[in-house]
Amino acid sequence: MIRVEGLNKWFRDFNVLKDINITANTGQIYGLVGSNGCGKTTLLKHIIQIYKGDSGSIYYKDTQIKEESPEIEKFYYIQDDLFFPYGYNLDMLFKYESKLYKNMSVEKYEKLLKFFNIDRKAKLTTLSKGQKKQAAFIIAVSAKPEVLLLDEVVDGLDAVVKRKFWNVLINEVMERNVTVIISSHDLKEIDNICDKVGIMHEGRIIKEEKMDILKEEVKRVQFAIEEEYKEIKSDKYQIIKTQKIGSVYFGIIKGDVDIFRKDLNEKYTLLIFDELSMDLEEIFITELGGAGYGKEEFIS
């Protein structure tokens, strides 16, 4: 289990991380999502101790993690902008990293090389963006870490490789109970994969929740009534947004959808009522809309 408690970070007078509290349980896939420049990468770099927070603490299995903690060797971080030592190929990198990570497995390395089909003798700097990501992932999994921190790791991978990537990751989680924290701006990609999601905005975690609860909390509805609809107020649910297209109303509801339906039925002549679930992208936009992000309209 990884726990970040009250983490704050200032870059000069810019408050990049504001009182961050998150918990990723062992064997969980934790999705870190957020607007551009919201601090996802900075947060990951704190967990792996590349950065030191101004206040707050990070725990792994209830042990506080510091720069010199031996626990750090059980973590593996794949950063977004990869850089490799000059002139290195994958075999050389594997040898080099074997000195840093005690659990590095040749067997796993060979298996993954075959699976991903990466040229072990090619200079890493000459590889494409997607190939570099695969190379880094091969090394990361071969190191058999207990915690995998993945920053935008599926970005730049084609559909076939993405599938292979998830295949390996799911295997690792199931086989070895790896804890994964994965950041991504491609929300479709991590929807249905994550156990838990942390939504970040301007240096803050504005929402942290288990995925299944998150999906139960907010629902999309569409309905048609004979009369003109006027907003209903209730403490059982909250209507975040309604929009009328033709004679059909589209709404986003937080809370008890069944009671909303009942209320509608009592007040109006309800013709149709459909409840739809939201995908992570829609939940994200709704949550950030609540935080005042993305509400502007572009006027040309």
Partner 1 sequence: MIRIDSNSSNPIYEQIYSEFVRLIVSRVLKPNEKIPSVRELASTLRINPNTIVKGYKLLEMDNYIRSEQGKGYFVNKRDESLSTYMKRIELNLKESIKSMRLIKMTDSEIVDFIKNLLKGDEGYDKS
Q: Which is nearer to partner 1, 65 or 168 (CB)?
A: 168
> Which residue number, 20 or 278, has a Cβ lying nearer to partner 1?
278
Helix 129-142 and helix 159-176, axial crossing angle in degrees, nearest 10: 10
* Residue 65 DSSP one-character state: P
E strands of the chain, at which residues?
2-11, 14-24, 29-34, 55-60, 63-64, 75-78, 147-151, 179-183, 196-201, 204-210, 218-225, 237-245, 248-255, 270-277
Q: Tell me, rounded to whole angstroms, the distance of Cα 52 from its chain centroid.
A: 22
The residue range among 6-14, 33-41, 275-283, 291-299 that interacts with partner 1, by the rule CB under 8 A, is 275-283
In this structure, how many other beta carbons lie within 10 angstroms of the beta carbon of residue 276?
Answer: 11
Smaller CB separation from partner 1, 126 or 277: 277
Q: Identify the DSSP state of 239.
A: E
Q: Which is nearer to partner 1, 20 or 283 (CB)?
A: 283
CA 49 to each of CA 57, 73, 131: distance values in angstroms, whole numbers, following the listed order:
11, 11, 27
Name which of residues 195 to 214 contact partner 1 (CB under 8 A): 195, 211-212
Q: Is 283 in the site for partner 1 (CB under 8 A)?
A: no
State yes or no: residue 279 binds partner 1 (CB under 8 A): yes
- Smallest gap from Cβ 52 to partner 1, in A, equals 33
Q: In terms of CB distance, is 94 or 165 closer to partner 1?
A: 165
How many Cα atoms sit within 13 Å of 292 on the Cβ side? Answer: 1
- Position 276 contacts partner 1 (CB under 8 A): yes
Segment lying near partner 1 (by CB under 8 A), choices 57-65, 75-83, 242-250, 269-277: 269-277
The CB-of-121 to partner 1 minimum distance in angstroms stands at 29
Instruction: Read off the tokens for 176.
Output: 């070895």
Between residue 143 and residue 202, which ones bind partner 1 under the rule CB under 8 A?
Answer: 163, 166-167, 170-171, 173-175, 191-195
241 Cα distance to chain centroid: 25
Interface contacts to partner 1, rule CB under 8 A:
29, 163, 166-167, 170-171, 173-175, 191-195, 211-212, 215-216, 219, 274-277, 279
